[in-house]
A and B are shown apart, each in its own frame.
Chain A
Amino acid sequence: MDDIHFEQIARVDAQGKACGTTAYMSDLSFPGMLYAWFVRSKYPHALVKSVDISKAMALDGVVTVLTAADVTGFNGFGIVNPDMPVICGDKVRYMGDTVALVAATTERIAEQAAALVEVEYEVLPVVDDPIEALKPDAPKVHDKGNVCLHTLITKGDVEQGLREADVVIEHEYRTPRQAHTALETESGVAVPEADGSLSMYAGSQYAFRDQLQLARILGMNPRMIHVYSNPVGGGFGGKDELTIQGGIALLAMKTGKPVKVVLSREESLVSGWKRHPFIVRIRTGFKNDGTMLANDVICYEDKGAYSSLGGPILNLALEHASSLYRVPNTRHEGWAVFTNNGVCGAFRGFGVPQVLFALESNMDEAAEKLGLDPVTIRRKNVLYQGEVSPIGHTLRTGVSMDLVLDAIEKSDLWQHREEYKKTDKPWLRRGVALSLAPQGAGLGVGIPDYGGAYIDLDRDGNFTLRIGLVEYGQGTHTGFTQMAAGLLHVHPSRVRIVAGQTEGSVDTGPATASRSTYTASNAIAAAFHDFGVKVAGALDAKYHTGADAVCEAKDGGMTTLVGFRTYEELAQEFAQESPLRGEGYFVWPTADREIPGAAGLPHWIYSFAAQAALVEVNTLTGETRLLKVATALDTGRTVNLQQVEGQIDGGVAQGEGFALFEDTLIAKGQVRTKNFSTYIIPTVQDVPEHEYIILENPEGTSAFGVRGIGEVVMVPIIPAVALAIHDATGVWVRQLPATPERLYRLLHPGL
């Protein structure tokens, strides 16, 4: 469908968001609404001996206080393994664990009551180092031990490969516990309905999975739970798993009243999901000409207290531990290890930034040792479609490693890097470096990766697109609107979207894994096709045209066997009782077999980006400024250029945060960075100038040729910044973020 025109419109949600009229779920209020307070643990690791709620219950205005015994269904949640209690009964494993839930008539009373809940603890030793936690005598976070997942993927003979290598680069790298810092904290309202059902209004990335998890917690038929999760005030992976929903659902069902909670930033930073910090030990062997011979990687993932998506994240990291380079001998091993360091889960990039920081750093170091330039060494090793990946599967879909590398080499920043590096200040040093990344898209093998969409012709001749995928700021709904409008041949203003609700929209899978735009492209195209069939069917029923007569969209209507009909006319004729609906369903293509021992691997479709960074380091203070970034990105096909550039801007800022500023510091289980004066994210003053290079190398399995781009745009920037610091100063940064003091100490080793 290359001929479909995408009208380049402004974001469909821009006005409401810019003017503040958009109602997020956390803005909603209901009559008689109560306020919830989560009574959090006092210790990062302890047994709960008793919980006394009598004083809290006695406080005026308190409606109920719940403890573990009050959980009506299964007291646990988790996308993969439901090992996180909604209310802890016998043990707490991090500072954000909930020991009781309060509902009161005001937020103030709820908070006061929370302080009156008396919990008796038996304090246990804190498990705070993933490597220590693997030792046999380490205290156990869970009864079954501290190993959440162990994965080993091998190809060829890595030891032999390393022996044959002319150069082996071996290092340990460490990455930060990045917080999502969505503007809207974890929040929502649970509303009990007259028919005994529950409506959950909470911004999240997958309403249909929330519905099932809530059904399990409440012990209710999922059909009795209605989830409304769109729009979301920022997600980045932090609202993929459940957050507060279980707690407010229990309170609402118990009290029969709507119950609301909006977490404070402090509570969000303590209790919320984070990016898993990784320790990556990596040995990479090269021949003198730069050819990679072997890569031996072992990752220790600090899982935090509960599983959530830690297993799949570890595996995606291992899939990418040798990038998509031609490496004949590999050994990718990973341990996801339980600790009392908060909880970690999904986060844009899903394990890939952590490992590629290590690998790409080794690449540049090898290049330097071998006298090669960073482009040459990478070009020598990039894989092409049809070749075998470092974990042993054949790359069947398009591979654009070479294309993004070529494009970044031709960027203004890379071409003129020597000029950009000039500075007349004796204390400043500038450097430029580049990096590239693939990012597996979709959920992987073995996990049904499904997407549905409905296109409804409404009474008035306009359209409603019903789709599961939420808008959490990516701009996807603008793209979906353009796709539907392009197929229907109408102006985008005639398509509205209903999304992210178990009632009124369809399951299109989670808004994660760079899958929204790609999945939607095929689901919408299928729904459009079905819409044509439905129109033909309706015409046949009335005019006996033959049910399979093809209808073609054109100029705000359709040409049919009985002549051209505008959509208004079709609606007049066929959509007065109920909408005329086209239904589309799509299942992702996946590999035909799984990599042994590695659930979910391999991925079938990848995104590709290369980025170059110009940094300026102040050698007197260790401060680094990211001045300019070039991004070469393969979109497959650009649906909306402004949204693509927006994703690049945001991805670069988030990658910059990872590389230079952001880390949730936890000491002995206690979060030290509880607000934005200590948890540092880049401001508008810190973000760089951009050079965008958009490639359109169509992905053959998408109806429009689109690829996901949401994650990959934040990946290469991370190693690029670290390597640009090396180019500027000569020091290798192996632990991120490169804060001023950390870098200063590298520059002045004696300190």
Chain B
Amino acid sequence: MIKELEYHAAHDLKEALELAEQFGPRKRFLSGGTDMTVRLKEGLVKEDIIVDLSHVAELRFVREESGVVHVGAGATHADLSASPIVRQHGLALALAASRVGGPQIRNMGTIGGNVANASPAGDTIPALIVLDAVVSITSRTGTREVPIIDFFTGPGRSVLAAEELVTEFHFPATGPGELSAFGKLGARQAMTISTANVAFYFRIGGDRRIVEARIAFGSVAPTVVRAHKTEQMFCQLPPLLSWDAIRGAAQMAWKEVAPIDDLRATAVYRKEAVVGLLAEAAYEALASCWHER
């Protein structure tokens, strides 16, 4: 049973910020509502006031400006999966968004909600991390910029203050010689929470070697995690497509995750599975990249 709530719809950003300030910790934002409705039904929302952001048109955009991709917090997963800008300049994010839920969830759910929700299983989060995204957090008094990796403080927790809202994410547009991708393991092909997920970004040098790597794993620690040691291993890879070498490099991921047992999977299996997920996605991405060149 969903409790009775006070409801306010914000019509523009200014109104949203005013409502945020007015109600502070007594309110909760609602964007697509795909997380909120589930939480409300389960009685997990302690706030009694809802501020609906879904009518705030200023939050729903994707654009590229001087080498930087800007994504509004209100952009839906469907927007991101279909966006030529995101596909070209931040493929990992488009792939991650396209694996969220099913079509209905992607039509409603937003990237802002996915990140603000701060679930360790949120699919867009590892993609944003490897793309080196920055979160713009706005209140009536101004905007602050927080690197996405510093945004999360624990499962379901973030640096977001009560009067603040997430307005956008921005990251350097990837270009030639840069590739990014996303892989997901769930209980089935769609409509599934990630048992584990992975995103990576590789910059390929002229000698076909990986000169810079960023790798992040989801659902295997209290927050999404960067895997620095594994990144090092990928930078050592020989410049030829070797399954054994890629798998060997991915093996290091074992050391960088701290999963738990839950209904979906055990910790030990998750550790093994993320290695596989990374190896598989990296092999596919490198194969197509090297093939093209």
A528 to chain B, nearest CB (A): 46
Residues of chain B with a CB closer than 8 A to A425's CB: 280, 283
Say yes or no: B189 contacts A740, CB within 8 Å.
Answer: no
Residues 627-683 of A contacting B (Cβ, < 8 Å)? 661, 665, 672-673, 676-678, 680, 682-683
- Bound-state Cα–Cα, A426 to B250, Å: 15
- Bound-state Cα–Cα, A685 to B189, Å: 6
Q: Closest B-chain residue to A428, C-beta based?
A: B280
Residues of chain B with a CB closer than 8 A to A552's CB: none
Q: Closest B-chain residue to A107, C-beta based?
A: B1
Say yes or no: A740 contacts B276, CB within 8 Å.
Answer: no
Residues 1-24 of B contacting A (Cβ, < 8 Å)? 1
Q: Closest A-chain residue to B276, C-beta based?
A: A620
- Is B191 among interface residues, defined by CB-CB distance under 8 A? yes
Q: Closest B-chain residue to A667, C-beta based?
A: B263
Residues of chain B with a CB closer than 8 A to A111's CB: 1
A-contact 0/1 string along B83-110, CB 8 Å cutoff:
0000000000000000000100000000
- Bound-state Cα–Cα, A744 to B265, Å: 11
- Is B275 among interface residues, defined by CB-CB distance under 8 A? yes
Residues 256-287 of B contacting A (Cβ, < 8 Å)? 263-266, 268-269, 272-273, 275-277, 279-280, 283
Given known A-B contacts A623-B185, A751-B268, A740 and B273 have beta carbons under 8 A apart: yes
Say yes or no: A741 contacts B275, CB within 8 Å.
Answer: no
Say yes or no: A673 contacts B263, CB within 8 Å.
Answer: yes
A-contact 0/1 string along B199-223, CB 8 Å cutoff:
0000000000000000000000000
Say yes or no: A740 contacts B190, CB within 8 Å.
Answer: no
Residues 734-751 of A contacting B (Cβ, < 8 Å)? 739-741, 744-745, 748, 751
Given known A-B contacts A427-B279, A621-B277, A748-B272, A682 and B265 have beta carbons under 8 A apart: no
Given known A-B contacts A426-B243, A623-B185, A683-B190, A740 and B279 have beta carbons under 8 A apart: no
Q: Closest A-chain residue to B1, C-beta based?
A: A111
Residues 176-210 of B contacting A (Cβ, < 8 Å)? 185, 187-193, 195
Q: Closest B-chain residue to A676, C-beta based?
A: B191
- Bound-state Cα–Cα, A665 to B192, Å: 17
In the complex, which of the residues A621, A665, A680, A751 contacts B188, with contact meaning CB atoms closer than 8 Å? A680
Say yes or no: B263 contacts A620, CB within 8 Å.
Answer: no
Indicate the member of B191, B193, B266, B268 with the most A CB atoms within 10 Å: B191
Say yes or no: A678 contacts B263, CB within 8 Å.
Answer: yes
Residues of chain B with a CB closer than 8 A to A672's CB: 263
Residues of chain B with a CB closer than 8 A to A226's CB: none
- Bound-state Cα–Cα, A258 to B213, Å: 66
B-contact 0/1 string along A599-637, CB 8 Å cutoff:
000000000000000000011111101000000000000
Residues of chain B with a CB closer than 8 A to A685's CB: 188-190
Residues of chain A with a CB closer than 8 A to B189's CB: 625, 683, 685-686
Residues of chain B with a CB closer than 8 A to A396's CB: none
Q: Size band of the B side of the interface?
A: 20 to 34
- Bound-state Cα–Cα, A672 to B263, Å: 8
Q: Closest A-chain residue to B243, C-beta based?
A: A426
Indicate the member of B1, B188, B189, B195 with the most A CB atoms within 10 Å: B188
Given known A-B contacts A672-B263, A744-B273, A745-B269, A620 and B187 have beta carbons under 8 A apart: no
Say yes or no: A618 contacts B280, CB within 8 Å.
Answer: yes
Interface of A is mostly: loop
Q: Closest B-chain residue to A625, C-beta based?
A: B189
B201 to chain A, nearest CB (A): 21
Residues 255-294 of A contacting B (Cβ, < 8 Å)? none
Say yes or no: B187 contacts A680, CB within 8 Å.
Answer: yes
In the complex, which of the residues A620, A665, A680, A751 contacts B275, with contact meaning CB atoms closer than 8 Å? A620
Q: Closest B-chain residue to A677, C-beta based?
A: B193
A16 to chain B, nearest CB (A): 22
Say yes or no: B269 contacts A620, CB within 8 Å.
Answer: no
- Is A410 among interface residues, defined by CB-CB distance under 8 A? no
- Bound-state Cα–Cα, A504 to B273, Å: 59
- Bound-state Cα–Cα, A253 to B86, Å: 62
Residues of chain A with a CB closer than 8 A to B280's CB: 425, 427, 618, 620-621
- Bound-state Cα–Cα, A675 to B80, Å: 28
- Bound-state Cα–Cα, A641 to B162, Å: 60
- Is A369 among interface residues, defined by CB-CB distance under 8 A? no
Residues of chain A with a CB closer than 8 A to B268's CB: 751
A661 to chain B, nearest CB (A): 6
- Bound-state Cα–Cα, A680 to B193, Å: 11
B123 to chain A, nearest CB (A): 14
Residues of chain B with a CB closer than 8 A to A673's CB: 263
- Bound-state Cα–Cα, A717 to B171, Å: 48
- Bound-state Cα–Cα, A676 to B38, Å: 12
A426 to chain B, nearest CB (A): 4
Indicate the member of B187, B243, B273, B277 with the most A CB atoms within 10 Å: B187
Residues of chain B with a CB closer than 8 A to A622's CB: 269, 273
Residues 675-703 of A contacting B (Cβ, < 8 Å)? 676-678, 680, 682-686
Q: Closest B-chain residue to A112, C-beta based?
A: B1
Residues of chain A with a CB closer than 8 A to B273's CB: 620-622, 740, 744
Say yes or no: A427 contacts B188, CB within 8 Å.
Answer: no
A338 to chain B, nearest CB (A): 26
Indicate the member of B268, B280, B283 with the most A CB atoms within 10 Å: B280
B109 to chain A, nearest CB (A): 14
Say yes or no: A740 contacts B195, CB within 8 Å.
Answer: yes
A-B contacts, 24 listed (Cβ < 8 Å): A425-B283, A426-B243, A427-B243, A618-B276, A620-B276, A620-B280, A623-B185, A661-B187, A661-B188, A677-B191, A678-B264, A680-B188, A683-B102, A683-B188, A683-B189, A685-B188, A685-B189, A686-B188, A739-B187, A740-B195, A740-B273, A744-B272, A745-B269, A751-B269
Interface of B with A (CB < 8 Å)? 1, 102, 185, 187-193, 195, 243, 263-266, 268-269, 272-273, 275-277, 279-280, 283
The 7 A-B residue pairs with the shortest CB-CB distance, nearest first, are: A620-B276, A685-B189, A685-B190, A426-B243, A680-B187, A741-B269, A683-B190
Known: A678-B264, A744-B273. 17 other contacts (CB 8 A): A425-B283, A426-B243, A426-B283, A427-B243, A427-B276, A427-B283, A621-B276, A622-B269, A622-B273, A623-B185, A661-B187, A678-B263, A680-B187, A683-B188, A740-B187, A740-B265, A751-B272
